Amino acid sequence: MGRKKAKTIPGLRFRGGVWHIEKRVSGTRLFESTGTDDLKEAQRRLVFRLDQIRQAEVYGVRPRRTFEEAAAKYLTENKHKRSIEADRSYIEQVKPYIGERELDMINMGCLQPFIEARRGEGVKNKTINNTLQVVRRILNLASKEWVDESNLTWLGAAPKIRLLPQNDERKPYSLSWEEQDRLFAVLPPYLRRMALFKVNTGLRDQEVCRLQWDWEYPIPELNTSLFVIPAEYSKNGLDRLVPLNDIALQVIAEVRELHPVYVFTRPDGQNRLYQMSNKTWDKARRLARLPVRIHDLKHTFGRRLRAAQVGLEDRQDLLGHKSYRITTHYSPVEIRHLIEMANRVCERSYCSINQ
């Protein structure tokens, strides 16, 4: 009944279970969702939007928009970003605190409860800053780039969102060989293999979790293979070459037949692990009495390369640091050299680390 009546309402159309505003106002097409399936509520929303436009045209009054509306626009316009899912997570964290606030009412004061809550959860300032940076970006876009149908920006002027001083950062922790043995002994097989691969390749957590068999390339001249992680899955936005030392090759041999797509999976062998830092990891490091985090495995690899007197440029290449010297078109001779450098961390007496 409601749908038939809706056809006679100028400017409203029912599509996909939701009422949409479709109306031309002062030469500009207004095309947006009301966010409701209730006809009366949709009508109120249409009247409200028409009044906003009239106020803007006649008096130059900027429509009142909430952070939640601005965040939705930001996510829609930035679907192409490699980090968009991380941004979405940061927005979800802060929405309970400022989601319903109008843009011109957002400032450091209203963000303080969010900051204190995150600190209470033991979150470091660097991580909190990730969210503040996204909030700042959205407000800057609203004040400088987003223009509505009345040629007014969404926000008059963006407030100053200050980032927190990163003076509470924990220093990286490098595992000694004895500590590695103690930790790996209490890890379940699936997580031990991932950790062993990570400490011998220097891959980041997500690079290990997402590693796919399609990214493996044979090197017949050397009777081995390596992985090339595509740019869209690499932190620095470049293809990452991953030479495999003898230990990493052993790990690959152990998991080769376990899953058709992913190199590493959950204990069930059916699905990939989304992050190595989980309750199982936390339990293991408590049992081993070590303050080590997942990222410390990458740091340990880097420290062992340096202790083994591997040169700076080779370390950068092996650790996946952004360097335009690295290329996926390495010759077999160059790949052999990188593998030899990576193999130095297999020899404990050669690259012992003094804690």
The per-residue pLDDT string of the chain (355 residues; one tens digit each, 9 = 90 and over) reads 444 444 446 788 888 888 888 877 665 667 778 878 888 888 887 777 776 666 655 555 567 789 999 999 999 999 888 788 889 999 999 999 999 999 989 999 999 999 999 999 988 899 999 999 999 999 999 999 998 766 788 888 899 999 999 886 778 899 999 999 999 999 999 999 999 999 999 999 999 999 999 999 999 999 999 999 998 888 777 888 999 999 999 999 999 989 999 999 999 888 888 889 889 999 999 999 999 999 999 999 999 999 999 999 999 989 887 544 444 566 888 899 999 999 999 977 544 433 3
- Other residues' Cβ atoms within 10 Å of the Cβ of residue 116: 11
- Residue 285: inside a domain: yes
Q: Which 8-state DSSP code applies to residue 116?
A: H
The domain total for the chain is 3
- Closest to 241 in 3D by CA, of 329, 138, 118, 146: 329
Question: Which residue range forms the structural domain that includes residue 243?
Answer: 177-346
- Residue 72: inside a domain: yes
Please identify, among 40, 59, 78, the residue that sits at the C-terminal boundary of a domain.
59
My answer on whether 208 and 79 are in the same domain is: no
d(CA 229, CA 209): 12
- Closest to 349 in 3D by CA, of 315, 307, 292: 307
My answer on whether 114 and 236 are in the same domain is: no
My answer on whether 55 and 75 are in the same domain is: no
- Residue 164: inside a domain: no
pLDDT for residue 351: 46
My answer on whether 97 and 193 are in the same domain is: no
Strands lying side by side in the sheet with 240-242: 216-219, 224-229, 240-242
- Residue 172: inside a domain: no
d(CA 311, CA 330): 18
Show the CA angle centred on residue 125, arms to residues 119 and 130, nearest 5°. 110
pTM of the shown model: 0.62
pLDDT for residue 268: 86
Identity of the residue numbered 170: R
- Residue 99: inside a domain: yes
My answer on whether 229 and 294 are in the same domain is: yes
My answer on whether 55 and 71 are in the same domain is: no
My answer on whether 122 and 209 are in the same domain is: no
What Rg, from alpha-carbon coordinates, does the chain have? 27
pLDDT for residue 270: 85
My answer on whether 219 and 323 are in the same domain is: yes
Please identify, among 97, 120, 144, the residue that sits at the C-terminal boundary of a domain.
144
pLDDT for residue 20: 85
- Other residues' Cβ atoms within 10 Å of the Cβ of residue 336: 16
Please identify, among 41, 59, 77, the residue that sits at the C-terminal boundary of a domain.
59
- Residue 116: inside a domain: yes
My answer on whether 27 and 74 are in the same domain is: no
Show the CA angle centred on residue 264, arms to residues 260 and 269, nearest 5°. 65
- Looking at the DSSP bridge assignments, the partners of residue 228 are 241
My answer on whether 103 and 213 are in the same domain is: no
d(CA 351, CA 310): 10
My answer on whether 266 and 186 are in the same domain is: yes
- Residue 165: inside a domain: no
d(CA 135, CA 143): 13
My answer on whether 268 and 137 are in the same domain is: no
- CATH number for the domain spanning 299: value is 1.10.443.10
- Residue 287: inside a domain: yes
